[in-house]
Amino acid sequence: MNHRLLLLFTATLLLTACGGSYNTEFAPPTGEEKYSDIVPSEISGEAMRAVRLELDPDTYHGARFEFGEKASILMIQSGNETALDAYFKETVVPQMEEGYGSKMSGKINGRWSARASGQSGRFKAWQNGAYIFVIKASTDEIFEEIVEKFPYIAKK
């Protein structure tokens, strides 16, 4: 019994330390949407600025949307599962190494997921079909504002 209680306590502590539970089980973009229909126009009083990413155009499509220095949303799309795996492992996961004390990442049931929190704020990344989404926010409040405004994530 004590062993089960310890496991439950540890799991609860990890979830709390990394910022709670979020639902990312939404239908991915169809490809017909405009970024302006998906991405919030402003976060925490900062206007959205789209940044073109230098990606292999035969493999990836995507952009990063910045809200001043406070937050960003990254959207990457690829029809190649191997390429998505490589991008997540080689580009997304290393972003958690600086300034995040608590971090978790992995591929479960064929889908990547990662989250972190610490001095740098909050970080959440996930795979949804052929897409990878990454949210970075400098504070918990800004992270929650993004969750409220971005249609591919919601608080459970």
Answer whether 131's CB lies under 8 Å from 111's CB: no
Give pLDDT, residue 14.
39
Fold that domain 22-155 belongs to in CATH:
Protein Transport Mog1p; Chain A (3.40.1000)
pLDDT at residue 68 above 80?
yes
pLDDT digit string (tens) for 89-148? 999 999 988 778 888 999 999 999 999 999 889 999 999 999 999 999 999 999 999 999
pLDDT exceeds 50 at position 7: no
Q: Which residue, among 154, 156, 118, has the nearest Cα to 139 in the 3D structure?
A: 118
Across-strand partners of 51? Answer: 64
Question: Residue 20 — very low, low, confident or very high, per pLDDT cuts 50/70/90?
Answer: low
What tens digit of pLDDT does each residue of 32-61 get?
A: 888 889 999 999 999 999 999 999 999 999
Does the pLDDT value for residue 18 go beyond 70? no
Instruction: Look over the chain and give the mean of its residue pLDDT values, rounded to a whole number.
Output: 87
Token output for 17: 């330390």
Domain boundaries, the chain: 22-155
- pLDDT tier at 21, thresholds 50, 70, 90: confident
What's the predicted TM-score (pTM) here?
0.85
- Residue 143 host element (H or E): helix 140-149
